[in-house]
Chain A
Amino acid sequence: MKINLKEFLKGIISENPTFVLMLGLCPTLAISTTLANAIGMSFAATFVLLGSNIIISLIKRLIPSKIRIPSYIVVIATFVTITELIIKAYSPALDKSLGIYIPLIVVNCIVLGRAEAFASKSNLIDSILDALGMGVGFSLALILISGIREFFGVGKIFGNTVIRGFEPVFLFAMPSGALLIIGILMGFFNFLKNKK
């Protein structure tokens, strides 16, 4: 089997889940308040994405098409439960700050979207690459948004004050500010895309 690097790269730029496919905006809006949250969420989502893509790609012929969505959800929920328990066990602080958004990865449209649109139609290697690419794309978007939000919204990076005397733009720490920033970034990336 040959490794098709294109399946990995597409998730990062040309089919970035947040800025191009516009999937998974709910967790993006909710947890992108601090960089620490974003990184925790990135790992959790990427792990679930990878696990569910592998399993679904392997069992795709066993699943009757009429009940494929419930079947995918069962697979995804298994991995989310694993993730949730691991985070609870090893990082209670992260578990507390991410809260309900860890269990909600079950209904994260990126995971279900990739299962439905890609893993159920592709072979194992491609599915792994797709999951990794999408995971990295989601992570980068999340880190970019939360970096901007943490810096402007509370004036900090990783909880450390960066510029003394800087008055944080409190709006950016609120969900409305997240929508604004995602909108501006999306416009910016579309601008770059159209320029080519």
Chain B
Amino acid sequence: MKLIVSNSPHLHSSESIEKIMWSVIISLLPSGLMGILLFGVKTFWIIFFSVLTAVITEALCNIITKKRLTIYDGSAFLTGLLLAYNLPPTVPFWIPIVGSFFSIVIGKQVFGGLGQNIFNPALVGRVFLMASWPKYMTNFITPINKFYPFRLVKCDSITSATILSLLKEKKNFSVSYLDLFLGNKGGCIGEVAVFLLLLGALYLLIKKYILLYIPLSYIITVAILSYIFGPNGLFTGNWLLSILSGGLILGAFFMATDYVTSPLTKKGQLIFGIGCGIITSVIRIWGGYPEGVSYAILIMNAVVPLIDRYTKQRIFGR
């Protein structure tokens, strides 16, 4: 028998950055496939270019800064994937390429790479694209195929506003909750298929890669606030609609829970989630944009160091 004598820590976990990142990617894949099914093959190329650019840019940054090659840990892949999921299916192909490049360089590598960035890189890329080319970033279409359990209905795809824009403009519209849940609505590539996102999130929850503190507090806050401040006066809001539309599920489960940019303690994570919820609701109800998930998460990312500082756990015995 071979005995190893070494310093502590002696307990090792089999988890690693690589394993967690690739698990998150796997949990996100169904939603992307659904996006391709709903919005057509062009969507695949948007995702492909976004991921490819992210990985290449990461490799180039590693080479220029003479650091160890970090493209195999999946974090750049994940950033590219999340960015593509946050784009409308109609964007020209250079949008994901420019966005991914910006995400990796400005969102991540200038801070020193994975673990050092303050802001979620994918959202940095999205907000950059949103600020620079708003006309491409708000050009939404309805799905070319509608998905129902065990059947697929071909549709005429038309340019349309998202549910949240319609809400914002106080227009009348009819939409079934089933359509919202299954993804038959206009929206970004990866955010429409709510049930597949929940399935992916469930996988991550079972593997304990994410905890429920942030997503649950986030979603509940949005639900409560959108119920209270409804369009026709207090306590008239449609809370289910505001959960199921827009990027809330994608943001709450996959982007707000990013390890690097979320608080460490459970109490901090609750504060973080509630803060995200408040900002999202404020933007949705009173702000200029119909959707506020990306801005909410980025703003709360900025206060994470403060939250961590004030929720530091007491050292046992002191």
Question: With the chains together, A180 CA to B132 CA distance in Å?
Answer: 13
B106, A176: Cβ atoms under 8 Å? no
**Which B96-115 residues have a C-beta within 8 angstroms of A?**
106, 110
B131 CB contacts on chain A under 8 angstroms: 170-171, 174, 176
Report A-chain residues with C-beta under 8 Å of the C-beta of B106.
180
Least Cβ–Cβ distance between A166 and chain B, in angstroms:
11
Q: Would you call B134 an interface residue if the criterion is a C-beta within 8 Å of the partner chain's C-beta atoms? A: yes
* Chain A 183-196 per-residue mask, 1 if CB under 8 angstroms from chain B, else 0: 00001000000000
Interface assignment of B128: CB less than 8 Å from any CB of chain A: yes
Residue of B110, B131, B132, B134 contacting most chain A CB atoms (<10 Å): B132
Tally B residues with Cβ within 8 Å of A.
Answer: 7
Q: In whole angstroms, what is the CA distance A172 to B129 when docked?
A: 11
- Whether B134 contacts A171 by the Cβ 8 Å rule is no
Find out whether the CB atom of B133 lies under 8 angstroms from the CB atom of A187. no
Q: Contact: B110 with A169, CB < 8 Å?
A: no
**Closest Cβ of chain A: how far from B57's Cβ, in Å?**
15
Chain A interface size, as a band, is 10 to 19
Which residues of A62-104 have CB atoms within 8 Å of chain B's CB atoms?
Answer: none
> Once the chains are docked, how many angstroms separate the CA of A180 from the CA of B127?
14
Contact A170 B134 (CB under 8 A): yes
Which parts of A148-196 form the interface with B (CB within 8 Å)?
167-172, 174, 176, 180, 187
Interfacial chain B residues near A169, Cβ < 8 Å: 132-133
Contact indicator B110/A171 (Cβ below 8 Å): no
Interface of B is mostly: helix
A169 to B133 Cα, complex, angstroms: 7
Cα distance A169–B137 when bound, in Å? Answer: 13
**Shortest distance from the beta carbon of A171 to any chain B beta carbon, whole Å:** 4
A167 to B106 alpha-carbon distance, docked (Å): 20
Q: Is the CB of B110 within 8 A of A187?
A: yes
Q: Is the CB of A170 within 8 A of B133?
A: yes
Most buried by A among B128, B131, B134: B131
Residues of A within 8 A of B133 (CB): 167, 169-170
A63 to B133, CA, bound (A): 54
A151 smallest CB distance to B (angstroms): 14
CA distance A167 to B137 in the complex (A): 13
Cα A169 to Cα B128 in complex, Å, equals 9
Contacting residues of chain B (242-294) with chain A, CB-CB under 8 angstroms: none
Q: How far is the CA of A168 from the CA of B98 in the complex (A)?
A: 12
Measured between alpha carbons, how far is A163 from B106 in the docked complex, in Å? 25
Contacts of B128 in A (CB 8 A): 171
Residue contact A170 to B132, C-beta cutoff 8 Å: yes
Chain A residues closer than 8 Å to B132, beta-carbon distance: 168-172
Tell me, rounded to whole Å, the shortest Cβ–Cβ distance linking B16 to chain A: 31
Q: List the B residue with the shortest CB-CB distance to A167.
A: B133
Question: Which of chain B's residues have a CB closer than 8 A to the CB of A170?
Answer: 131-134
With both beta carbons as reference points, the residue of chain A lying nearest to B136 in the complex is identified as A167
| Cα distance, A171 to B127, chains bound together (Å) | 10
Please indicate the chain B residues that have their CB under 8 angstroms from the CB of A180 in the complex. 106
Name the residue of chain B whose CB is nearest to the CB of A169: B132
Residue of chain A at shortest CB distance from B110:
A187
Enumerate B108-165 residues with CB–CB distance to A below 8 Å: 110, 128, 131-134
Taken together as a complex, chains A and B put the C-alpha atoms of A169 and B129 apart, in Å, by: 8
Query: Once the chains are docked, how many angstroms separate the CA of A170 from the CA of B136?
Result: 12
CB distance from A83 to the nearest CB of B (A): 34
- Encode B235-247 as 1/0 by CB contact (under 8 A) with A: 0000000000000
Residue of A at shortest CB range from B134? A170
Closest Cβ–Cβ distance, residue A167 to chain B (whole Å) = 6
A172 / chain B contacts, CB cutoff of 8 Å: 132
CB distance from B302 to the nearest CB of A (A): 14
B208-237 CB contacts (< 8 Å) to partner A:
none
CA distance A167 to B128 in the complex (A): 14
State the CA gap A180–B106 with chains docked (Å).
9
Q: Tell me the nearest residue of chain B to A153, going by C-beta.
A: B132
- Give B residues with C-beta under 8 Å from A: 106, 110, 128, 131-134
A-B contact pairs, 8 of them (CB 8 A): A167-B133, A168-B132, A169-B132, A169-B133, A170-B133, A171-B128, A172-B132, A180-B106
Which are the 7 A-B pairs with shortest beta-carbon distances?
Answer: A171-B131, A171-B132, A169-B132, A170-B132, A171-B128, A167-B133, A170-B131
Given A170-B134, A171-B128, A171-B131, 11 other A-B residues pairs in contact with their CB atoms under 8 A: A167-B133, A169-B132, A169-B133, A170-B131, A170-B132, A170-B133, A171-B132, A172-B132, A176-B131, A180-B106, A187-B110
